[in-house]
Amino acid sequence: MADTPDVHSEAYNEPNPSSLLGFAKGFGLTFETMFRKVYTQQYPFDFYPTQPRYHGRHVLNRHPDGLEKCIGCELCAWACPADAIYVEGGDNTDEERYSPGERYAQVYQINYLRCIFCGLCVEACPTRSLTMSNEYELAGDNRQDLIYTKEQLMAPLLPGMEAPPHPMRLGSDEQAYYTVRSQEPFSQGEPQSTANVAGKPLTTRAIEVGGHHG
Ligand code: SF4
Ligand code: SF4
């Protein structure tokens, strides 16, 4: 049986130099911190920008004539590891056209209760419809509000854009929409509004239509 130390002995109660040093170090750090400049961000009264490549909420972008870049292919939904995206494709017709080509997204939802902002959906998108903005104010007091609909995710209409449905304006077939020239994103001036069609405010980065980052 191991010897039990005698807690009443003189040797036991003598201060241990190594633990005294530990105390001094610990309190030294406390004192040092007390005299440092306090750095407090007054959020939400002051809004602090993120790094440019911050992965915030998504944006569904438009072509320069206002047609939607999303073709309802569901590749983003398949790529999503959190099963956060729901897409239902629909057929464009000559009378009712939302995107160039055959299909468009009739229903598009992102569930921000599930999204982990990994950006894999953006990588998977073949038309560069889906990008991520720097918008980080994603909080709500109920679950329903955090399932964003297509109307909330669509980029606002810029000057020169026309709200779909409408015919293809950039050419007679969809190929015209995928040339470098047709996708010049910043030549259209300021957006008409800093809110999207659902009235959700967007930060400057979120309205940089075509400003892709993965
Ligand atoms: S960022 Fe990641 S988790 Fe969020 S919707 Fe895209 S793929 Fe899914
Ligand atoms: S956002 Fe891109 S990947 Fe997703 S359905 Fe639309 S076109 Fe396809």
Question: Would you list the DSSP string of 49-85?
Answer: ---TT---SEEE-B-TTS-BS-----HHHHH-TT--E
187: in domain: yes
Q: CB of 161 within 8 A of CB of 62?
A: yes
Q: Is the CB of 212 under 6 A from ligand 2?
A: no
**Overall number of domains in the chain:** 1
- Ligand 1, atom nearest to 55 Cα: 1
Pick the closest to residue 84 from 58, 122, 115 (CA basis).
115
17: in domain: no
What's the alpha-carbon Rg for the chain, to the nearest Å? 28
39: in domain: no
Q: CB of 68 within 8 A of CB of 99?
A: yes
Instruction: Please tell me the number of the ligand nearest to residue 118's CA.
Output: 1
Q: How far apart are the first and last CA of the chain?
A: 64
CB-side neighbour CA atoms (13 Å) of 44: 4
Helix extents (H) in the chain: 10-13, 17-34, 75-79, 120-124, 150-153
**Pairwise CA distance, residues 41 & 46, whole Å:** 7
1: in domain: no
Determine the distance from the C-alpha atom of residue 30 to the mean position of all C-alpha atoms in its chain, rounded to a whole number: 38
74: in domain: yes
48: in domain: no
95: in domain: yes
Which residues have C-beta atoms less than 6 Å from ligand 1? 79-80, 82, 84-85, 110, 115-121
Burial class (CB in 10 A: 0-12, 13-18, 19+), 121: buried
The Å distance, Cα 212 to ligand 1 centre, comes to: 15
Pick the closest to residue 66 from 158, 200, 199 (CA basis).
158
CB-side neighbour CA atoms (13 Å) of 58: 35
Q: Which domain holds residue 97?
A: 55-214
Residues making up the chain, counted from first to last: 214
Residue nearest to atom 4 of ligand 1 (CA): 115
Q: What is the pLDDT tens value at each position of the chain, 214 positions in all? A: 556 777 777 777 776 777 788 888 889 989 998 999 988 888 888 888 889 899 999 999 999 999 999 999 999 999 999 999 999 999 999 999 999 989 999 999 999 999 999 999 999 999 999 999 999 989 889 999 999 999 999 999 998 899 999 999 998 889 999 887 766 654 444 444 444 444 444 544 444 433 444 3
Q: What is the pLDDT of residues 134-191, one digit of tens each?
A: 999 898 899 999 999 999 999 999 988 999 999 999 988 899 998 877 666 544 444 4
The CATH number given to whatever domain includes residue 159 is: 3.30.70.3270
15: in domain: no
Task: Please tell me whether residue 93 adopts helix, strand or coil conformation.
Answer: coil
